[in-house]
Structure formats: C-alpha cells, structure tokens
Amino acid sequence: MGMLMSQDDFARALRAAGDRAGVPNDASKRLVQRWEAGQIVAPRPVYARALEAVTGLPIASLGFSVPVPQARVSGDGHGGHDVAATPTSPAPVRSTAAAAVPAPNYSGVWLSRYDFYSSSRDSTYTGEHFVVVLQHGDRLTVRSLPSSATSSLTMDLTVDGPVVTGTWVEQTEADGYYRGARYHGAIQMLAEPTGRRIRGKWVGFGKDMDVNTGPWELVFQDASTGQATLAAYNRPTAE
C-alpha cells in the first residue's frame, strides 16, 4: 500500500529485480497473497533478495515471523524452499562447523562517496549518499536512504573474496542540474581486510556518450539495519 502497487504490480517488480540481479524468480500475485496472509512465514532466499531490492528494507522488517535463511542462491534460481506456516515447523539449526569460520557480512549502513567530472561546469564534484547494504550469500543489494541526498542510488554487487563487482544506477533530482537524468554503469572494488572500507572505480556514460570513470568508496557506518538506525541516517550526509 505504501508503494502504491497492486499485488500484480508488486509481483512484476519482484520478477524484474530478480532478472536484474541475474537470479530469476517466479513471483506471482498468488505468492504475494500467501505472504500477506501469513500462509508462508519465511520466503526462499531468492525471493528475500528481490523483496529487499524492491522495498529497500531489510527482510527482517517486512513482517515474516521466522528468520529467512541466508543461504547462497544456487545457480538454478531456486535458492531453497519457502517455509510454510505450521505449528510443528522446527526452528532452524546452524551448523557449528559453518559458525566456526563466519563469512564476511557487509550488511549495514555505509557512506557511499564517488567523484565525477562535469564537462559542462569544468569541475570535479563528489556525490555522497548514506546507503543500506543487504547481503544474501555472495550478493549485495545497495539502496540509498531517500533523505541522504537529492538523487537516489542503487547497486547490485557480487562478492568474491575481497573483490566486489557489479552495476550501479543513479536517478538524479527532477528539478536539479541534471533534470532527472538516469545514469548507470559498472563498478569494480576491493574490500579492505578490516571489512570497513571498500574502494574502487566506476565506469559509465556521459551525456555525449563518452565513457567516464572515477573513484568510488563505501565506508562502514553501522552494522544495524533496524528501523531506528535507518531513521538516524536518513538525513543529508553533510549533517
């Protein structure tokens, strides 16, 4: 309701998010109805990532009553099974062997900062956003907090050891200098051993269809993705 979408619209948006991430899903109006009715208490990871991408919220805040498995999405696009609402469903059990060597987790609030050259103004500028990073397996969904900048930013990334690779999209302000233009491109970054800073370079197209590039970094701010934390960072970065 808050996104002004019908159940059909929402299902289409989920399928589109899966296609963009390279992990297709079969979201349908009926599946959305089953989630809303509580007939499924935890979606499959392939749907969890799409839900986070479409809503911009962590899966834990979307009303599911049991934890969603953070399993790596398999190549067949299924990513596990939905957990149905049943009084006899056992609680999920974590492997002690897996817990002994935890994989890096980048979920949380980060400061995104990149530099770009404006040929029309003959100067270099810095774009900053507070962003929410949500991780499922080796995939990261990045979405800017709406009040942290006048433009909106999304990124779809894949983690392979310290290498972080993916795509970015920025929608500029309708009344701003770039008059609502939509820019997109690719990005290649390296995570520092501390896991608190990810640095690299972006590549994209300018208005004259020339290829541009520049530095980009993500700087860790807070590991929480709770509503109070998101509200605290939903403000201009200059503050």
DSSP state of 90: P
Do residues 59 and 134 make contact, with C-beta atoms less than 8 angstroms apart? yes
Residue in 33, 43, 94 with CA at minimum distance from that of residue 64: 43
Residue with tokens 């530095």: 215
Give mean pLDDT, residues 221-237: 92
pLDDT number for residue 223: 93
pLDDT number for residue 91: 45
pLDDT digits (tens, 9 = 90+) for 84-142: 665 544 444 444 443 444 557 899 999 999 999 887 788 899 999 999 998 878 889 89
First to last CA, the chain: 31
| Per-residue confidence band for 22, with pLDDT thresholds at 50, 70 and 90 | confident
Do residues 113 and 217 make contact, with C-beta atoms less than 8 angstroms apart? yes
In degrees and rounded to multiples of 5, residue 85 shows phi and psi of -75, 110
Class of domain 108-233: mainly beta
Full 3-state SS string of 195-207: CCEEEEEEEEECC
Q: List the domain boundaries for the chain.
A: 1-71, 108-233
Question: For the chain, how many residues are written?
Answer: 239
Would you say residue 70 has pLDDT above 90?
A: no
Dist CA 39 CA 24 (whole Å): 23
